[in-house]
Amino acid sequence: MPLTKDFRETIRERAQQEPKFRKALLREAIELMLSGDEKTGRAILRNYINATVGFRQLEEATSIPANSLMRMFGPNGNPSAKNLFGVLAHLQAQEGVNFEVRPRRS
């Protein structure tokens, strides 16, 4: 089911006003992908990109065409590790955070 414009606008407005919300969106997307729910992680990352840097600016920063980036983070996207980690590195730098992976006991 496609997201409504109202929902996207709500995410954008909140992300622009609340740095903690932006960081939480980015963290959640990464955690979901690492836990195996890459489809939901990509969807959240797409929302994050739309609400913050936008695909055109991300294209300039990563040298990956905006259309390719949109497909990568779309419902049927399949980003290569190189492209995914390049995007994540840029988004973390832009946000001023550096997430790290640590083992957690289950």
Whether 104 is covered by a domain: the verdict is no
Rounded to the nearest 5°, which phi and psi values hold at 74?
Answer: -85, 180
Question: Domains in the chain: how many in total?
Answer: 1
Whether 100 is covered by a domain: the verdict is no
Whether 39 is covered by a domain: the verdict is yes
Top-confidence residue, 69 or 7: 69
pLDDT per residue as tens digits for the range 78-97: 999 999 999 999 999 999 99
Q: What is the mean pLDDT of the chain?
A: 92
pLDDT attached to residue 5: 63
pLDDT attached to residue 1: 58
Cα-Cα end-to-end distance for the chain: 33
Q: Determine the structural domain holding residue 76 and report its residue range.
A: 5-95
Distance, in Å, from the CA atom of 1 to the CA atom of 13, rounded to the nearest integer, reads: 22
Closest CA to 22 of 68, 73, 91, 88: 91
Q: Is the pLDDT of residue 101 over 90?
A: no
Q: What torsion, rounded to 10 degrees, do the Cα atoms 37, 84, 99, 106 define?
A: 30
Calculate mean pLDDT across residues 6-35: 91
Q: Is the pLDDT of residue 4 over 80?
A: no
What's the whole-model pTM score?
Answer: 0.87
